[in-house]
Amino acid sequence: MKEELVKFLSEHVTENRNELFDKVLKDRTRYLTVVLEDIYQSHNASAVLRSCDCFGIQDVHIIENRNKYNINKDVALGSSKWLSLSKYNTEENNTRTALRKLKADGYRIVATTPHTNDIELYDFDVSAGKTAVVFGTELTGISDVVKEEADEFLRIPMYGFTESFNISVSAALVLQHLAHEIRNKNVSWELPIEDGLEIKRQWLNTTIKSAELIEREFYNKKNK
């Protein structure tokens, strides 16, 4: 049924747009995911989303404890509408809830921070399992809760006086390397067929005017 619906919706976009969706979808992954904890500068938040889209990362998990996650449209350039965003903002501290959900979904929690037991980015083993990379707030980095829940700590090698990169730069560096690695290792990083169909359905709905009416038309035809 889902495949038939996607095919029906695809008839309402141009052939070029449909081919572009299929091309991009082939490079999408849920093997890697990104977790953003309490990011408060909209240009950083938006730049990370843009990097996720560019490197084929489909899911972004957004933790809002003190700070609301705002998107700067001039920086994001529409990338957010092609991603699956999950927000955690209903509790006093949403970090543990988010990370434990990801663990239950089979992800290892990898925190980005200078740490005594950290692993350098280029030594990180992507083949060890699905990975959720956590980036902390601009001022203080990851919280103590992230440090408690993390399975591993990841560090970008640096050779200057400055102690850390801007969060958007850190995310771009980490994602570029890991996205390259999963495609060059013996890793099943591709989307399951059912996930791909659902994501394409969402993209089509984002693109097509009156998409809800068209879906209703499809189901009415199927139920006759």
**Looking at residue 224, what is its pLDDT?**
64
Q: Note the pLDDT tens digit of each residue in 26-40.
A: 999 999 999 999 888
Burial 85-116 (b: 16+ CB within 10 A, else e): eeebeeeeebbbebbeebeeeebebbbbbeee
Which positions ≥6 away from 148 have C-beta within 8 Å? none
> Where do the domains of the chain lie?
29-190
Alpha carbon separation from 129 to 107, 176, 192 (Å, rounded): 7, 18, 16
What's the 3-state SS for 159-198?
A: CCCCCCCCHHHHHHHHHHHHHHHHCCCCCCCECCHHHHHH
CATH among 3.40.1280.10, 3.40.50.1950, 3.30.310.10, 3.30.390.30 for 29-190: 3.40.1280.10
Find all residues with CB under 8 Å of 48, minimum gap 6, and list them: 34, 36, 39, 60, 135, 167, 168, 171
Q: Which residues pair with 62 in a beta bridge?
A: 36, 87
Low-confidence spans in the chain with pLDDT less than 50:
none
Return the pLDDT at 104. 98
Q: Between vectors from CA 167 to CA 112 and to CA 37, what angle results, nearest 5°?
A: 65
Which ranges in 33-143 belong to alpha helices (H)? 42-54, 73-76, 95-104
